[in-house]
Amino acid sequence: MLKLYIGNKNYSSWSMRPWVLLKQAGIPFEEVMVRFDSFAAGSHFKQMLAGVNPTGRVPVLVDGDLAVWDTLAIAEYLAERFPDKQLWPAHPAARARARSICAEMHSGFSGLRGACPMNVEALLPEMGRLIWRDKPGVRADVQRIVVMWSELFAAHGGPMLFGNFSIADAYFAPVCMRLKTYALPVPGPVSEYVHRICELPGVKAWIDEALAEKDFLDFEEPYRNGR
C-alpha cells in the first residue's frame, strides 16, 4: 500500500495537497503523521524523515522501495500510477492549463503564503482586514487567483476548476483554507467555489482531522498567543 508522510493537518499546506488528492480520488494509502516540533537538524521531525526523504521535508509518498517527494512530483506520479482515476483533465489543452496553474501555485503567490500561513482551526478576519489593507502583495495574489478561477469557471462550467475534480483542485485547496481563515474579500463565484471545495469528502476529512489535533505550535502562529 502507498504510504504518505505528512505534517500537522492544521498547518501543513504542502501535505494537504497529496492527502486530499488521494482521499478524494479513492486511492488507498497509509498516513504517517510527522508532527512539527522544530525544523532544526536534531529535531524529532528531521529524525523521523531521515532515510525517507533527503530534503527532510513533507510530504513524501512511498510506494514500495520508491520515495517521491515534492507535491508536483507526487501528483504526476499518482496520475501515471492510476490512469483510471483521471487526475488530470482529459483534454490536452485543459491538461496543459491545469499543469500551468499548479506550477504557478507551486512557485508563486509568496505574498499570500507569507502573510497568511495556513491555519485551518483559526478564524482571523480582523487580521485579514489588516493584511488586506497593508499588504499589496496579498491583494495582487488574490486578484490573480480571482482572475484565474473566473476564467476557468467560464471555460469549464464548474463545479470544480476543470469541471470535474482534478489535481488542480487539490492543489488550490490550501488557498481556499487561507481565504476562509482570513476572510479575504473575493467575489461571489470564488466564495462559492471555496464552499464547494470545503464540502468535498476528501477536504472535509482533512478539515475535521485538523480541528481534532488541538495542537498549538507557536512557531506556526504569528497572530495568536494560544488556542
H/E/C letters for each residue in 98-159?
HHHHHHHHHHCCHHHHHHCCCCCCCCCHHHHHHHHHHCHHHHHHHHHHHHHHHHHHHHHCCC
Q: What are phi and psi of 26, to 5 degrees?
A: 75, 35
The Cα diameter of the chain in Å comes to 50
Give the tens place of pLDDT for each residue, 151-173. Answer: 999 999 999 999 999 999 999 99
For residue 172, the Cα-to-chain-centroid distance in whole angstroms is 6
What pLDDT is recorded for position 165?
A: 98
Domains and CATH numbers, the chain: 2-85 (3.40.30.10), 92-209 (1.20.1050.10)
Give the tens place of pLDDT for each residue, 102-134. Answer: 999 999 999 999 999 999 999 999 999 999 999
Closest CA to 14 of 59, 45, 55: 59
pTM, whole model, 2 decimals?
A: 0.96
Give the tens place of pLDDT for each residue, 198-208. Answer: 999 999 999 99
